[in-house]
Structures are given as C-alpha cells and as structure tokens.
Amino acid sequence: MGNTLGLAPMGSLPRRSPRREEPLPNPGSFDELHRLCKDVFPAQMEGVKLVVNKVLSSHFQVAHTVHMSALGLPGYHLHAAYAGDWQLSPTETQQAKFLTWQFDGEYRGDDYTATLTLGNPDLIGESVIMVAHFLQSLTHRLVLGGELVYHRRPGEEGAILTLAGKYSAVHWVATLNVGSGGAHASYYHRANEQVQVGVEFEANTRLQDTTFSFGYHLTLPQANMVFRGLVDSNWCVGAVLEKKMPPLPVTLALGAFLNHWRNRFHCGFSITVG
C-alpha cells in the first residue's frame, strides 16, 4: 500500500542538529564576589593628596605620593615597582631569618575556582592559619561556594565556615555570604550606561554590629565626570566627585563625608597624574 497521505519518507526529513550547550563561565575569585557593588561606593578622602605615576619602561614604574592631613603629620611616599624574570629586594638580602611567610595558590578551572592560603605554618610550634575558598558555577547565572578559615596555635584552635552564593542577571547582581561570623549581602543594579546603584548589608556577630548602606554611581561622559555617593545606617553621608582633564593625564577628585551621629566631618582633595 502506497503513501496515501502524501507524507515524505522518514529518511528524507531534515534532521535537527544537536544544540550545543555553551560552557559555564569561570566564577572568578571569592574576594571579588561583592566587587561590583563595592565599586559603586566612594572611597573616603581626608586632606590633600598628590599622586604622580610614571612608567619608565615595560618593567619599571615609579609612583610619588604626597599627603597632607589635619589628622596626622604630612608624608611623602616613593613606590618603585620592577617586573622582570629576576628580582632582588632588601627583604631577600638583608634579613637573617624569616619573620613571616605566606603561601598562596589559586587554580581556575573552566567553571570553578579553588584557592588555598597558608600563613606562618610552624610544624614544631603546631601553629598555622589556613584560608580555603571554592566557587562553582552551577548555571550561567548562579554561583555557589564557601570559605573555610582555620587557625591553630598552642592552647587554641578554631574554624569559621562561610557559605556564599551569587546570582547574576542582565542588569543586576545579588550576592550573599552567611557564616558563623556574620552575614554580608549586596545588591547591584545597573539602570543604564550612566546610573548604577548598590545596596549593602553587613552583620558581625562578634562585634554585635549591623550596617546598612546605599550607594550610587553617576557617570557624565560628555563632561568627563564621575560622581559617587553613599548613605548608611550610621548616619553617615558622603560623596566624591572625579573630573578628568583630557588630553592631559590628570584626574581631580573632591570628596566630603559627614557623620551626624559622631559629629565628624572630613573632606579631601586629590590630584592624580599618570
């Protein structure tokens, strides 16, 4: 009996190509979970600061910093950095013994990150500080992981476990850390190319302290200006205005912070060259 319905034979039907699933992204490091939200808040300024950065070569750069403040003595700092295949520093040539030492290791897979830090391990004195981090991308938007802090010394031993989760949407990111030491939650929202807001909540069980903060970030590309502001539950209000001066490599910053509860006011001005 023929094909009375006029359907095409099974062999002639086009086959759908199997859908390729995109690999999960790397979640990044544990310390950068709240980075997007923290970048919204302004950094506190006090006094007058001048920073001059000079790149002398691809391996060597120098930074000069002059800071004058009413809270302390004025100071000058010279920072020189050399990046090469072989480097000697005063701590490697003039010290007769090791005072402190630390080992850091980080491994980043396709969809996970593992980090281990050992501080001052002493097998004879039976003392060590260990910090371990692990993050795993479960989906393209959800990341789960944790942190383990362990310390041991004669007569004392303890550990703190913290669980962490991060959910990333198109325009917002929510992050939560919960452990025996407290909780840290943040929410970042990008309204558009110019406006970003962040909300942060921190609770410390040891200090019995809780802080709620709201910050906003405003970018004015036509004026080469960036404005950051914050308001928190400690009755603190602050703002920082940054202005770039193209074509010169100069950035001007003006900041002011007022704590109504403690009746303290701080203001600062900085010039960054380079």
Tens digit of pLDDT for each residue in 206-264?
A: 888 999 999 999 999 999 999 999 999 999 999 999 999 999 999 999 999 999 998 99
- pLDDT exceeds 90 at position 195: yes
Q: Which residue has the tokens 């999960």?
A: 24
pLDDT band, residue 93 (cuts 50/70/90): very low
Q: For the residues 176-182, what does the mean pLDDT come to? A: 93
Q: For the residues 106-124, what does the mean pLDDT come to? A: 89
Q: Give the phi and the psi of residue 120 in degrees, each rounded to 5.
A: 50, 55
Q: Which residue has the tokens 């100069």?
A: 250
The yes/no answer on whether domain 25-80+100-273 falls in CATH 2.40.160.10 is: yes
| Domain locations along the chain | 25-80+100-273
Tens digit of pLDDT for each residue in 58-76?
A: 888 899 999 888 777 888 9
**Whole-prediction pTM value?**
0.79
pLDDT band, residue 15 (cuts 50/70/90): low
